[in-house]
Amino acid sequence: MLTRPRQYQLIYESLKTQLTAGVYPKGSLLPSENELAVQFQTTRTTVRQALTELVRDGYIERQHGRGSIVRSERQTLGLLSFQGFSEVVAGGHAVRTTFLKPIMLQDWPSAFVFPLTDAERAVDCLALERIRYADEHPVMLEYTFVPNVGLDDMLTNDLLDGSLFRTLHQRYQLAIIDMQQRLYAVGATARQAAVFGCALHTPLLYMERRYLTSRPGLHVYSQLYCHTDKYAISNGL
């Protein structure tokens, strides 16, 4: 199953590493395709294949006649770019998370907003209630549910770097591979108004999310409320 990495993948990884390390400043030009071909001892075609993937993943843009332009120095693109809290809040803010309650083992909520698979219904679930802060302002109230497939020791161990996804990936080999969501605008309830320190009925962004994991039929579920008065929810803007 282990295939040896292709040449264009090596070039892709090499450039990606340099890009995420900030070797090339945002807006600057990468070495030209011919230079890269010499540098990696290959042909322009192969270099172009690597560059095309970097474009697809949002690391660079290309401009005919000019060169390949570095799009951003962001550290954590890729898989988590569709979620990671620190990514979602427009960049450069001090980010913090607190737990409203400790992680708990419980039954799935009755009338859960998502349909569960048989494998999920068969086990109980871990419930997380977290508040996310940006620059010490509460901006997100998040309820997360994870099917308890041998995750009992998450009750006692802290999350790796405070990140649920990183913990699931590194300690339990459960990678998040895709996300689906529904978006709504709702008015703040008394509880949410208290959390965010805003008036009752203040418009909030409400999201229902289902994360697909590397284990088929296994999902992570989230319901989140966002107070967007000070901070927008953005992707790459």
Partner DNA sequence: CAGCTGTACTTGTCTAGACAAGTTGTGGTG
Partner DNA sequence: CACCACAACTTGTCTAGACAAGTACAGCTG
107 secondary structure, DSSP code: P
Q: To the nearest whole angstrom, how small is the minimum distance from the Cβ of residue 124 to a second copy?
A: 24
User: What is the C-alpha to C-alpha distance for residues 17 and 11, in angstroms, rounded to an integer?
Assistant: 10
Listed in sequence order, the residues at least 6 apart from 11 whose beta carbon sits closer than 8 Å to its beta carbon are: 36, 40, 42, 46, 47, 50
Buried b (16+ CB within 10 A) or exposed e, 197-231: ebeeebebbbbebbbbbeeeebbbbbbbbbbeeeb
Count CA atoms closer than 13 A to 182's CA, side-chain side: 7
- Pattern 132-171, a second copy, x by CB under 8 A: ----------------------------------------
Listed in sequence order, the residues at least 6 apart from 164 whose beta carbon sits closer than 8 Å to its beta carbon are: 128, 144, 146, 220
| 170 contacts DNA (rule: CB under 7 A) | no
Query: Which of the listed partners (DNA, a second copy, none) does 186 bind, with a CB threshold of 5 to 8 Å by partner kind?
Result: a second copy
Do the Cβ atoms of 167 and 159 come closer than 8 Å?
Answer: yes
Interacting residue with a second copy among 10, 159, 205, 218 (CB under 8 A):
205
Interacting residue with a second copy among 183, 189, 191, 200 (CB under 8 A):
183
The residue range among 15-23, 94-102, 167-175, 177-185 that interacts with a second copy, by the rule CB under 8 A, is: 177-185
Q: CB-wise, 63 or 110, nearer to DNA? A: 63
- Pattern 67-106, DNA, x by CB under 7 A: xx--------------------------------------
Q: To the nearest whole angstrom, how small is the minimum distance from the Cβ of residue 19 to DNA?
A: 14
